Amino acid sequence: MKFDSRQYQIDAVEAWWEVLENSPELYPIIAVPTGAGKTVIMGMLIKKYIDEYPDNKILVLSHTQDILEQDYAALSEFFPDKEIGVYSAGLGLRQICQITIAGIQSVYQLKDMFNWVNLIIIDECHTVNHKNSGMYRTFLNEHRGIIAGMSATVFRTGHGYVYEGSAIFNTLAYDLTSTDNFNKLVADGYLTRLISVAPEMEMDINGIATSAGDYNVKQLGDRFDRSAITEDAVNELIKYGHNYKKWLIFAIDTDHADNICESLKSHGIHAHVLHSKMGYDRRKTTDSFKNGTTRALVSVGMVTTGFDAPNVDLIALLRPTKSAVLHVQMVGRGLRIAKDKDHCLVLDFAGNTARLGPINDVRVPNPKGKKGEGGNMTKKCPYCRAILHISVRICPVCDTEFVFQTQLTVRPDIIPIVKETAIKEEPKWLTVNNVQYSIHSKPGKPDSLMVTYLCGITKIREWICLDHFGYAGEKAKLWVERRGYKGSIDTHSVYQHRDQLKKPEKICVSFIDKYPSITQTVLSQGA
Protein backbone atom coordinates (compact mmCIF):
# COMPACT_ATOMS: atom_id res chain seq x y z
CA MET A 1 0.00 0.00 0.00
CA LYS A 2 1.49 3.37 -1.07
CA PHE A 3 -0.66 5.60 1.11
CA ASP A 4 0.63 7.30 4.25
CA SER A 5 -2.40 7.50 6.49
CA ARG A 6 -2.97 10.62 8.56
CA GLN A 7 -4.23 10.61 12.11
CA TYR A 8 -7.61 12.09 11.22
CA GLN A 9 -8.07 9.37 8.59
CA ILE A 10 -7.25 6.69 11.17
CA ASP A 11 -9.73 8.28 13.60
CA ALA A 12 -12.44 8.38 10.92
CA VAL A 13 -11.96 4.71 10.05
CA GLU A 14 -12.01 3.66 13.70
CA ALA A 15 -15.25 5.54 14.32
CA TRP A 16 -16.81 4.10 11.15
CA TRP A 17 -15.68 0.58 12.04
CA GLU A 18 -16.97 0.87 15.60
CA VAL A 19 -20.50 1.38 14.29
CA LEU A 20 -20.27 -1.28 11.57
CA GLU A 21 -18.87 -3.91 13.94
CA ASN A 22 -20.94 -3.27 17.06
CA SER A 23 -24.24 -1.78 15.88
CA PRO A 24 -25.68 -3.90 13.05
CA GLU A 25 -28.93 -1.96 13.19
CA LEU A 26 -27.13 1.25 12.20
CA TYR A 27 -26.12 2.25 8.68
CA PRO A 28 -23.38 4.86 9.28
CA ILE A 29 -21.97 7.62 7.11
CA ILE A 30 -18.90 9.81 7.48
CA ALA A 31 -18.47 13.39 6.28
CA VAL A 32 -15.13 14.12 4.58
CA PRO A 33 -14.30 17.47 2.93
CA THR A 34 -13.12 17.49 -0.67
CA GLY A 35 -9.34 17.09 -0.70
CA ALA A 36 -9.07 15.37 2.69
CA GLY A 37 -8.45 11.90 1.24
CA LYS A 38 -11.87 10.30 1.04
CA THR A 39 -10.64 7.38 -1.10
CA VAL A 40 -7.81 6.75 1.36
CA ILE A 41 -10.32 6.45 4.19
CA MET A 42 -12.44 4.12 2.06
CA GLY A 43 -9.43 1.93 1.27
CA MET A 44 -8.41 1.78 4.92
CA LEU A 45 -11.92 0.70 5.94
CA ILE A 46 -12.13 -1.98 3.24
CA LYS A 47 -8.71 -3.32 4.23
CA LYS A 48 -9.78 -3.50 7.86
CA TYR A 49 -12.99 -5.26 6.85
CA ILE A 50 -11.24 -7.85 4.65
CA ASP A 51 -8.60 -8.50 7.32
CA GLU A 52 -11.46 -9.32 9.71
CA TYR A 53 -13.66 -11.12 7.15
CA PRO A 54 -11.35 -12.41 4.39
CA ASP A 55 -14.10 -14.15 2.40
CA ASN A 56 -16.68 -11.37 2.43
CA LYS A 57 -17.58 -9.28 -0.61
CA ILE A 58 -17.61 -5.47 -0.94
CA LEU A 59 -19.44 -3.28 -3.44
CA VAL A 60 -18.59 0.42 -3.90
CA LEU A 61 -21.36 2.39 -5.62
CA SER A 62 -21.32 5.85 -7.17
CA HIS A 63 -23.08 7.82 -9.88
CA THR A 64 -20.33 9.39 -12.05
CA GLN A 65 -17.53 7.94 -14.15
CA ASP A 66 -14.98 10.32 -12.62
CA ILE A 67 -15.67 9.00 -9.13
CA LEU A 68 -15.65 5.37 -10.32
CA GLU A 69 -12.26 5.90 -11.95
CA GLN A 70 -10.85 7.62 -8.86
CA ASP A 71 -12.12 4.87 -6.55
CA TYR A 72 -10.70 2.20 -8.86
CA ALA A 73 -7.27 3.88 -8.98
CA ALA A 74 -7.14 4.28 -5.21
CA LEU A 75 -8.29 0.76 -4.36
CA SER A 76 -5.93 -0.73 -6.95
CA GLU A 77 -3.05 0.86 -5.04
CA PHE A 78 -4.43 -0.31 -1.71
CA PHE A 79 -4.77 -3.87 -2.95
CA PRO A 80 -2.06 -4.44 -5.59
CA ASP A 81 -2.41 -8.24 -5.30
CA LYS A 82 -6.20 -8.25 -5.73
CA GLU A 83 -8.23 -7.82 -8.88
CA ILE A 84 -10.67 -4.92 -8.48
CA GLY A 85 -13.84 -5.36 -10.49
CA VAL A 86 -15.53 -2.50 -12.36
CA TYR A 87 -19.16 -2.76 -13.45
CA SER A 88 -20.06 0.26 -15.58
CA ALA A 89 -21.70 0.45 -18.98
CA GLY A 90 -20.22 3.91 -19.50
CA LEU A 91 -16.70 2.56 -19.00
CA GLY A 92 -17.43 -0.55 -21.05
CA LEU A 93 -16.62 -2.94 -18.18
CA ARG A 94 -18.74 -5.62 -16.50
CA GLN A 95 -16.46 -7.26 -13.97
CA ILE A 96 -17.46 -8.71 -10.59
CA CYS A 97 -14.76 -9.53 -8.01
CA GLN A 98 -14.42 -9.65 -4.24
CA ILE A 99 -14.14 -5.85 -4.37
CA THR A 100 -16.33 -4.38 -7.09
CA ILE A 101 -16.81 -0.73 -8.06
CA ALA A 102 -20.06 -0.08 -9.89
CA GLY A 103 -22.11 2.73 -11.39
CA ILE A 104 -25.58 2.77 -9.93
CA GLN A 105 -27.05 3.41 -13.38
CA SER A 106 -25.60 0.09 -14.55
CA VAL A 107 -26.62 -2.14 -11.64
CA TYR A 108 -29.80 -0.81 -10.09
CA GLN A 109 -31.92 -3.25 -12.11
CA LEU A 110 -29.49 -6.13 -11.46
CA LYS A 111 -29.84 -6.35 -7.69
CA ASP A 112 -30.16 -10.14 -7.78
CA MET A 113 -26.61 -10.34 -9.11
CA PHE A 114 -25.32 -8.56 -5.99
CA ASN A 115 -27.35 -10.21 -3.23
CA TRP A 116 -24.14 -11.93 -2.11
CA VAL A 117 -22.44 -8.63 -1.23
CA ASN A 118 -21.77 -8.26 2.52
CA LEU A 119 -20.79 -4.57 2.63
CA ILE A 120 -21.99 -1.77 0.34
CA ILE A 121 -20.22 1.61 0.48
CA ILE A 122 -21.91 4.49 -1.32
CA ASP A 123 -19.56 7.24 -2.44
CA GLU A 124 -21.37 10.61 -2.50
CA CYS A 125 -24.16 9.16 -0.36
CA HIS A 126 -26.11 12.44 -0.38
CA THR A 127 -27.38 11.38 -3.80
CA VAL A 128 -29.46 8.59 -2.24
CA ASN A 129 -33.09 9.73 -2.23
CA HIS A 130 -34.60 10.01 1.25
CA LYS A 131 -37.92 9.03 -0.30
CA ASN A 132 -38.69 5.51 -1.48
CA SER A 133 -37.73 6.21 -5.09
CA GLY A 134 -34.74 6.44 -7.39
CA MET A 135 -32.07 4.02 -8.55
CA TYR A 136 -30.30 3.68 -5.20
CA ARG A 137 -33.54 2.91 -3.36
CA THR A 138 -34.53 0.37 -6.02
CA PHE A 139 -31.19 -1.37 -5.55
CA LEU A 140 -30.91 -1.13 -1.75
CA ASN A 141 -34.45 -1.63 -0.44
CA GLU A 142 -34.31 -5.41 -0.28
CA HIS A 143 -30.58 -5.82 0.30
CA ARG A 144 -29.61 -7.77 3.41
CA GLY A 145 -25.98 -6.63 3.76
CA ILE A 146 -24.41 -3.74 5.66
CA ILE A 147 -24.73 -0.31 4.04
CA ALA A 148 -22.38 2.62 4.71
CA GLY A 149 -21.86 5.99 3.04
CA MET A 150 -19.47 8.89 2.69
CA SER A 151 -19.71 12.40 1.24
CA ALA A 152 -18.47 15.97 1.60
CA THR A 153 -22.11 17.09 1.80
CA VAL A 154 -24.21 14.85 4.05
CA PHE A 155 -27.51 16.68 3.44
CA ARG A 156 -30.18 17.04 0.76
CA THR A 157 -32.31 19.94 -0.42
CA GLY A 158 -35.82 19.62 0.96
CA HIS A 159 -34.83 17.05 3.54
CA GLY A 160 -31.86 18.04 5.70
CA TYR A 161 -29.14 15.71 6.96
CA VAL A 162 -29.30 12.37 5.16
CA TYR A 163 -28.79 10.42 8.39
CA GLU A 164 -31.92 11.95 9.95
CA GLY A 165 -35.35 10.72 8.90
CA SER A 166 -33.97 8.47 6.17
CA ALA A 167 -34.95 4.86 5.57
CA ILE A 168 -31.33 4.01 4.68
CA PHE A 169 -28.72 5.90 6.74
CA ASN A 170 -29.36 6.58 10.41
CA THR A 171 -26.15 7.76 12.09
CA LEU A 172 -23.17 10.04 11.48
CA ALA A 173 -20.08 8.11 12.58
CA TYR A 174 -17.49 10.87 12.04
CA ASP A 175 -17.63 14.46 10.79
CA LEU A 176 -14.51 16.08 9.34
CA THR A 177 -16.61 18.88 7.80
CA SER A 178 -17.53 20.49 11.14
CA THR A 179 -16.19 24.00 11.74
CA ASP A 180 -13.42 22.99 14.16
CA ASN A 181 -12.34 19.83 12.32
CA PHE A 182 -12.36 21.59 8.95
CA ASN A 183 -10.28 24.48 10.28
CA LYS A 184 -7.78 22.07 11.82
CA LEU A 185 -7.32 20.38 8.44
CA VAL A 186 -6.53 23.82 6.98
CA ALA A 187 -4.23 24.77 9.87
CA ASP A 188 -2.36 21.46 9.58
CA GLY A 189 -1.81 21.97 5.85
CA TYR A 190 -4.11 19.22 4.56
CA LEU A 191 -6.56 21.64 2.92
CA THR A 192 -5.94 24.95 1.18
CA ARG A 193 -7.03 28.29 2.62
CA LEU A 194 -10.02 29.85 0.86
CA ILE A 195 -10.55 33.59 0.43
CA SER A 196 -13.97 34.61 -0.91
CA VAL A 197 -14.73 37.88 -2.70
CA ALA A 198 -18.01 39.26 -4.00
CA PRO A 199 -16.93 41.51 -6.91
CA GLU A 200 -18.64 44.72 -8.01
CA MET A 201 -20.77 42.87 -10.57
CA GLU A 202 -23.48 41.27 -8.45
CA MET A 203 -26.09 38.86 -9.85
CA ASP A 204 -29.41 40.07 -8.44
CA ILE A 205 -31.73 37.06 -8.17
CA ASN A 206 -34.77 38.92 -6.87
CA GLY A 207 -37.86 37.67 -8.67
CA ILE A 208 -36.27 34.48 -10.03
CA ALA A 209 -38.67 31.56 -9.57
CA THR A 210 -37.81 28.30 -7.82
CA SER A 211 -38.00 24.96 -9.63
CA ALA A 212 -37.27 21.63 -7.87
CA GLY A 213 -35.79 23.46 -4.90
CA ASP A 214 -33.36 25.68 -6.83
CA TYR A 215 -33.49 28.78 -9.01
CA ASN A 216 -35.16 28.26 -12.38
CA VAL A 217 -32.31 27.76 -14.85
CA LYS A 218 -34.16 29.28 -17.82
CA GLN A 219 -34.97 32.44 -15.89
CA LEU A 220 -31.39 32.68 -14.68
CA GLY A 221 -30.15 32.36 -18.25
CA ASP A 222 -32.61 34.92 -19.59
CA ARG A 223 -31.53 37.46 -16.98
CA PHE A 224 -27.78 36.94 -16.76
CA ASP A 225 -26.63 35.46 -20.07
CA ARG A 226 -26.21 38.89 -21.63
CA SER A 227 -23.09 40.22 -23.30
CA ALA A 228 -22.79 43.30 -21.09
CA ILE A 229 -23.10 41.28 -17.86
CA THR A 230 -20.68 38.62 -19.10
CA GLU A 231 -18.16 41.25 -20.15
CA ASP A 232 -18.33 42.96 -16.75
CA ALA A 233 -17.78 39.63 -15.00
CA VAL A 234 -14.88 38.65 -17.26
CA ASN A 235 -13.21 42.05 -16.79
CA GLU A 236 -13.33 41.61 -13.01
CA LEU A 237 -12.18 38.02 -13.30
CA ILE A 238 -9.13 39.16 -15.26
CA LYS A 239 -8.51 41.98 -12.79
CA TYR A 240 -8.46 39.64 -9.80
CA GLY A 241 -7.01 36.63 -11.56
CA HIS A 242 -3.89 37.92 -13.28
CA ASN A 243 -1.61 36.22 -10.74
CA TYR A 244 -3.63 33.00 -10.47
CA LYS A 245 -2.78 30.00 -12.65
CA LYS A 246 -5.90 27.85 -13.00
CA TRP A 247 -9.42 29.30 -13.08
CA LEU A 248 -12.51 27.14 -12.67
CA ILE A 249 -15.72 28.98 -13.61
CA PHE A 250 -19.26 27.76 -12.93
CA ALA A 251 -21.94 28.88 -15.41
CA ILE A 252 -25.75 28.66 -15.48
CA ASP A 253 -26.24 26.56 -18.63
CA THR A 254 -24.40 25.53 -21.78
CA ASP A 255 -25.09 28.77 -23.70
CA HIS A 256 -23.92 30.82 -20.73
CA ALA A 257 -20.74 28.74 -20.49
CA ASP A 258 -20.03 29.13 -24.21
CA ASN A 259 -20.47 32.90 -24.03
CA ILE A 260 -18.21 33.24 -20.96
CA CYS A 261 -15.58 31.13 -22.70
CA GLU A 262 -15.70 33.24 -25.88
CA SER A 263 -15.39 36.43 -23.85
CA LEU A 264 -12.34 35.06 -22.05
CA LYS A 265 -10.76 34.09 -25.36
CA SER A 266 -11.38 37.58 -26.76
CA HIS A 267 -9.23 38.88 -23.89
CA GLY A 268 -6.41 36.48 -24.71
CA ILE A 269 -7.21 33.92 -22.00
CA HIS A 270 -6.75 30.29 -23.06
CA ALA A 271 -10.15 28.85 -22.09
CA HIS A 272 -12.38 25.85 -22.79
CA VAL A 273 -15.88 24.78 -21.82
CA LEU A 274 -16.87 21.52 -20.17
CA HIS A 275 -20.52 20.61 -20.57
CA SER A 276 -22.79 18.00 -22.13
CA LYS A 277 -22.95 19.72 -25.53
CA MET A 278 -19.25 20.43 -26.01
CA GLY A 279 -17.99 19.55 -29.46
CA TYR A 280 -14.57 18.16 -28.48
CA ASP A 281 -13.09 15.39 -26.36
CA ARG A 282 -13.82 15.78 -22.66
CA ARG A 283 -10.73 13.91 -21.44
CA LYS A 284 -8.38 15.98 -23.58
CA THR A 285 -10.09 19.12 -22.30
CA THR A 286 -9.68 18.23 -18.64
CA ASP A 287 -6.09 17.03 -19.16
CA SER A 288 -5.21 20.30 -20.90
CA PHE A 289 -6.63 22.20 -17.94
CA LYS A 290 -4.99 20.09 -15.24
CA ASN A 291 -1.60 19.66 -16.87
CA GLY A 292 -1.45 21.83 -19.97
CA THR A 293 -1.87 25.33 -21.32
CA THR A 294 -5.59 25.84 -20.65
CA ARG A 295 -5.92 28.50 -17.97
CA ALA A 296 -9.71 28.74 -17.57
CA LEU A 297 -12.29 25.96 -17.62
CA VAL A 298 -15.96 27.00 -17.79
CA SER A 299 -18.27 24.25 -16.56
CA VAL A 300 -21.93 23.41 -16.23
CA GLY A 301 -22.48 20.71 -13.62
CA MET A 302 -19.63 18.42 -14.73
CA VAL A 303 -16.94 19.23 -12.16
CA THR A 304 -18.88 19.51 -8.91
CA THR A 305 -18.09 15.94 -7.79
CA GLY A 306 -15.22 13.66 -8.69
CA PHE A 307 -13.17 16.36 -10.44
CA ASP A 308 -9.62 16.31 -9.09
CA ALA A 309 -7.45 19.29 -10.11
CA PRO A 310 -5.31 20.32 -7.10
CA ASN A 311 -3.78 23.29 -8.94
CA VAL A 312 -7.11 25.17 -9.14
CA ASP A 313 -6.35 28.43 -7.33
CA LEU A 314 -9.28 30.59 -8.49
CA ILE A 315 -12.98 29.73 -8.60
CA ALA A 316 -15.57 32.04 -10.14
CA LEU A 317 -19.21 31.47 -9.21
CA LEU A 318 -21.51 32.73 -11.96
CA ARG A 319 -24.23 30.21 -11.11
CA PRO A 320 -26.61 31.40 -8.36
CA THR A 321 -28.03 28.53 -6.32
CA LYS A 322 -30.22 27.76 -3.34
CA SER A 323 -28.62 24.34 -3.00
CA ALA A 324 -26.23 23.98 -0.07
CA VAL A 325 -24.91 20.80 -1.69
CA LEU A 326 -24.06 22.54 -4.97
CA HIS A 327 -22.56 25.51 -3.08
CA VAL A 328 -20.17 23.33 -1.06
CA GLN A 329 -19.31 21.07 -4.00
CA MET A 330 -18.45 24.01 -6.29
CA VAL A 331 -16.25 25.79 -3.75
CA GLY A 332 -14.73 22.48 -2.65
CA ARG A 333 -12.96 22.17 -6.01
CA GLY A 334 -10.40 24.66 -4.67
CA LEU A 335 -9.60 22.92 -1.39
CA ARG A 336 -6.90 20.54 -2.58
CA ILE A 337 -3.31 21.45 -1.77
CA ALA A 338 -0.69 21.86 -4.49
CA LYS A 339 2.86 23.04 -4.89
CA ASP A 340 3.24 26.86 -4.77
CA LYS A 341 -0.49 27.23 -3.96
CA ASP A 342 -0.94 29.46 -0.91
CA HIS A 343 -4.73 29.79 -1.14
CA CYS A 344 -7.67 29.61 -3.52
CA LEU A 345 -9.56 32.79 -4.37
CA VAL A 346 -13.34 32.44 -4.73
CA LEU A 347 -15.00 35.19 -6.80
CA ASP A 348 -18.64 34.96 -5.79
CA PHE A 349 -20.56 36.93 -8.42
CA ALA A 350 -23.64 34.85 -7.57
CA GLY A 351 -23.93 35.79 -3.89
CA ASN A 352 -24.02 32.12 -2.87
CA THR A 353 -21.76 32.59 0.15
CA ALA A 354 -23.89 35.37 1.61
CA ARG A 355 -27.03 33.33 0.90
CA LEU A 356 -25.88 29.92 2.12
CA GLY A 357 -23.04 30.63 4.56
CA PRO A 358 -19.43 29.43 4.95
CA ILE A 359 -18.84 25.93 3.59
CA ASN A 360 -17.86 24.62 7.05
CA ASP A 361 -21.01 26.08 8.63
CA VAL A 362 -23.39 26.00 5.70
CA ARG A 363 -27.11 26.70 6.07
CA VAL A 364 -28.31 23.12 5.87
CA PRO A 365 -31.79 22.63 4.38
CA ASN A 366 -34.23 21.20 6.91
CA PRO A 367 -37.60 19.51 6.67
CA LYS A 368 -40.61 21.79 6.77
CA GLY A 369 -41.40 23.12 10.21
CA LYS A 370 -37.80 23.08 11.47
CA LYS A 371 -35.65 26.16 11.85
CA GLY A 372 -32.72 26.48 9.47
CA GLU A 373 -29.17 26.03 10.68
CA GLY A 374 -25.69 27.32 9.97
CA GLY A 375 -24.27 30.47 8.44
CA ASN A 376 -23.30 33.59 10.34
CA MET A 377 -24.40 37.16 9.57
CA THR A 378 -21.61 39.22 8.10
CA LYS A 379 -20.73 42.91 7.78
CA LYS A 380 -18.48 44.91 5.50
CA CYS A 381 -15.47 46.90 6.61
CA PRO A 382 -16.03 50.36 5.07
CA TYR A 383 -12.29 50.87 4.60
CA CYS A 384 -10.89 47.66 3.11
CA ARG A 385 -14.15 45.88 2.09
CA ALA A 386 -13.37 42.79 4.16
CA ILE A 387 -16.47 41.00 5.40
CA LEU A 388 -16.33 39.71 8.95
CA HIS A 389 -18.62 38.13 11.49
CA ILE A 390 -21.22 40.51 12.86
CA SER A 391 -19.66 40.44 16.35
CA VAL A 392 -16.17 41.61 15.28
CA ARG A 393 -15.35 45.05 16.67
CA ILE A 394 -12.01 45.70 14.94
CA CYS A 395 -11.23 44.71 11.34
CA PRO A 396 -8.20 42.36 11.48
CA VAL A 397 -7.18 43.39 7.95
CA CYS A 398 -6.93 47.16 8.37
CA ASP A 399 -7.66 47.87 12.09
CA THR A 400 -10.84 49.86 11.37
CA GLU A 401 -13.11 50.10 14.41
CA PHE A 402 -16.77 49.36 13.73
CA VAL A 403 -19.68 51.52 14.86
CA PHE A 404 -22.35 49.02 15.90
CA GLN A 405 -25.80 49.45 14.39
CA THR A 406 -29.04 47.65 14.98
CA GLN A 407 -29.43 46.58 11.37
CA LEU A 408 -26.89 45.62 8.75
CA THR A 409 -27.50 47.62 5.57
CA VAL A 410 -24.40 47.19 3.40
CA ARG A 411 -23.73 44.58 0.73
CA PRO A 412 -20.85 42.16 1.40
CA ASP A 413 -17.77 42.46 -0.82
CA ILE A 414 -15.44 39.96 0.85
CA ILE A 415 -17.33 37.15 2.53
CA PRO A 416 -15.95 34.49 4.89
CA ILE A 417 -16.23 31.33 2.78
CA VAL A 418 -14.86 29.42 5.79
CA LYS A 419 -16.12 30.12 9.30
CA GLU A 420 -13.31 30.72 11.78
CA THR A 421 -13.11 28.81 15.04
CA ALA A 422 -14.24 30.97 17.94
CA ILE A 423 -11.44 32.67 19.87
CA LYS A 424 -11.45 31.41 23.43
CA GLU A 425 -8.86 33.83 24.85
CA GLU A 426 -9.16 37.61 24.89
CA PRO A 427 -6.35 39.50 23.08
CA LYS A 428 -4.00 41.57 25.25
CA TRP A 429 -3.06 45.24 24.88
CA LEU A 430 0.68 45.98 24.94
CA THR A 431 2.37 49.39 25.11
CA VAL A 432 4.89 49.86 22.30
CA ASN A 433 8.23 51.33 23.43
CA ASN A 434 9.96 51.16 20.07
CA VAL A 435 9.60 49.78 16.54
CA GLN A 436 12.32 48.20 14.40
CA TYR A 437 12.15 47.55 10.65
CA SER A 438 14.20 45.14 8.52
CA ILE A 439 14.10 43.41 5.14
CA HIS A 440 13.10 39.76 5.43
CA SER A 441 14.31 37.50 2.62
CA LYS A 442 13.25 33.92 1.95
CA PRO A 443 14.52 31.74 -0.94
CA GLY A 444 12.03 31.59 -3.79
CA LYS A 445 9.77 34.27 -2.27
CA PRO A 446 9.57 38.08 -2.66
CA ASP A 447 11.16 40.12 0.10
CA SER A 448 8.92 41.40 2.87
CA LEU A 449 9.15 44.10 5.53
CA MET A 450 9.61 42.62 9.01
CA VAL A 451 8.28 44.90 11.76
CA THR A 452 9.37 44.22 15.35
CA TYR A 453 7.44 45.86 18.18
CA LEU A 454 9.38 46.20 21.43
CA CYS A 455 6.87 46.06 24.29
CA GLY A 456 8.90 45.96 27.48
CA ILE A 457 10.61 42.58 27.50
CA THR A 458 8.17 41.24 24.88
CA LYS A 459 8.91 41.30 21.15
CA ILE A 460 6.06 40.97 18.65
CA ARG A 461 6.76 40.60 14.94
CA GLU A 462 4.64 40.93 11.83
CA TRP A 463 5.54 40.61 8.16
CA ILE A 464 4.25 43.16 5.62
CA CYS A 465 4.22 41.46 2.20
CA LEU A 466 4.22 44.48 -0.11
CA ASP A 467 5.77 42.64 -3.07
CA HIS A 468 3.39 39.69 -2.89
CA PHE A 469 0.38 39.35 -5.18
CA GLY A 470 -3.25 38.78 -4.29
CA TYR A 471 -4.73 39.14 -0.84
CA ALA A 472 -1.40 39.38 1.05
CA GLY A 473 -0.22 42.25 -1.15
CA GLU A 474 -3.50 44.17 -0.88
CA LYS A 475 -3.48 43.79 2.90
CA ALA A 476 0.11 45.09 3.03
CA LYS A 477 -0.79 48.18 0.95
CA LEU A 478 -3.60 48.99 3.38
CA TRP A 479 -1.12 48.65 6.25
CA VAL A 480 1.26 51.32 4.88
CA GLU A 481 -1.55 53.63 3.73
CA ARG A 482 -3.06 53.70 7.23
CA ARG A 483 0.34 54.69 8.57
CA GLY A 484 0.39 57.79 6.37
CA TYR A 485 2.99 56.62 3.87
CA LYS A 486 2.79 58.47 0.50
CA GLY A 487 5.73 57.13 -1.49
CA SER A 488 6.31 54.20 -3.83
CA ILE A 489 4.68 51.09 -2.33
CA ASP A 490 7.23 48.30 -2.48
CA THR A 491 9.27 46.66 0.27
CA HIS A 492 12.59 48.40 -0.30
CA SER A 493 11.09 51.87 -0.85
CA VAL A 494 9.02 51.66 2.32
CA TYR A 495 12.05 50.42 4.27
CA GLN A 496 14.20 53.27 2.91
CA HIS A 497 11.56 55.84 3.97
CA ARG A 498 10.40 54.07 7.14
CA ASP A 499 10.70 57.32 9.08
CA GLN A 500 7.48 58.41 7.31
CA LEU A 501 5.45 55.65 8.98
CA LYS A 502 3.29 56.63 11.92
CA LYS A 503 4.48 54.88 15.06
CA PRO A 504 2.06 52.79 17.11
CA GLU A 505 1.46 53.63 20.73
CA LYS A 506 -0.29 50.36 21.60
CA ILE A 507 -0.99 47.06 19.90
CA CYS A 508 -3.61 44.44 20.72
CA VAL A 509 -2.12 40.94 20.39
CA SER A 510 -3.84 37.55 20.16
CA PHE A 511 -1.81 34.59 21.44
CA ILE A 512 -4.34 31.92 20.44
CA ASP A 513 -2.41 30.67 17.39
CA LYS A 514 1.08 29.24 17.04
CA TYR A 515 2.46 32.74 16.47
CA PRO A 516 1.11 35.94 18.10
CA SER A 517 -0.96 38.10 15.78
CA ILE A 518 -1.80 41.81 16.00
CA THR A 519 -5.55 42.41 15.94
CA GLN A 520 -5.62 46.20 16.52
CA THR A 521 -3.20 49.13 16.51
CA VAL A 522 -3.44 52.60 18.08
CA LEU A 523 -1.25 54.96 16.02
CA SER A 524 0.38 58.19 17.12
CA GLN A 525 -0.56 61.35 15.24
CA GLY A 526 2.94 62.01 13.96
CA ALA A 527 5.51 59.84 12.18
pLDDT per position as a tens digit, 100-147? 999 999 998 998 889 889 999 999 988 888 777 789 988 988 788 899
Percent above pLDDT 90 for the chain? 46
Q: What is the mean pLDDT of residues 176-200?
A: 89
Q: How confident is the model at residue 412 (pLDDT cuts 50, 70, 90)?
A: very low
Alpha-helical runs (H) found in 102-154 = 104-107, 135-140
pLDDT for the residue 360: 87
CA distance linking residue 80 with residue 443, whole number of Å: 40
pLDDT at 313: 94
Q: Spell out the residues 6+ positions from residue 34 whose beta carbon is closer than 8 angstroms to its own.
A: 152, 329, 332, 333, 335, 336
pLDDT digits (tens, 9 = 90+) for 254-299: 999 999 999 999 999 999 998 878 766 788 888 899 888 999 999 9
Task: Specify burial of residue 376 (Cβ count, 10 A radius: 0-12, 13-18, 19+).
Answer: middle
201 or 399, higher pLDDT: 201
Tens of pLDDT along 220-251? 999 999 999 999 999 999 998 988 999 999 99
Is the pLDDT reported for residue 375 higher than 50? no
**CA–CA separation, 421 vs 184, rounded Å?**
9
pLDDT band at 197 (very low <50, low <70, confident <90, very high): confident
> 95-127 burial, b for 16+ CB within 10 Å, e for fewer?
ebebbbbbbbebbbeeeeebeebebbbbbbbbb
Residues 294, 297, 300, CA angle at the centre, nearest 5°? 160
DSSP H helices in 217-301: 217-224, 227-241, 254-266, 282-291
Q: Give per-residue pLDDT as tens, 20-60.
A: 888 888 899 999 999 999 999 999 999 999 999 999 999 99
pLDDT of residue 301: 76
Give dist(CA 25, CA 218) in Å, integer: 44
pLDDT for 455 equals 85
Q: Is the pLDDT of residue 372 over 50?
A: no
Q: What is the pLDDT of residue 405?
A: 43
Say what the pLDDT of residue 304 is. Answer: 66
342-371: per-residue pLDDT in tens? 899 999 999 998 888 888 888 876 655 444
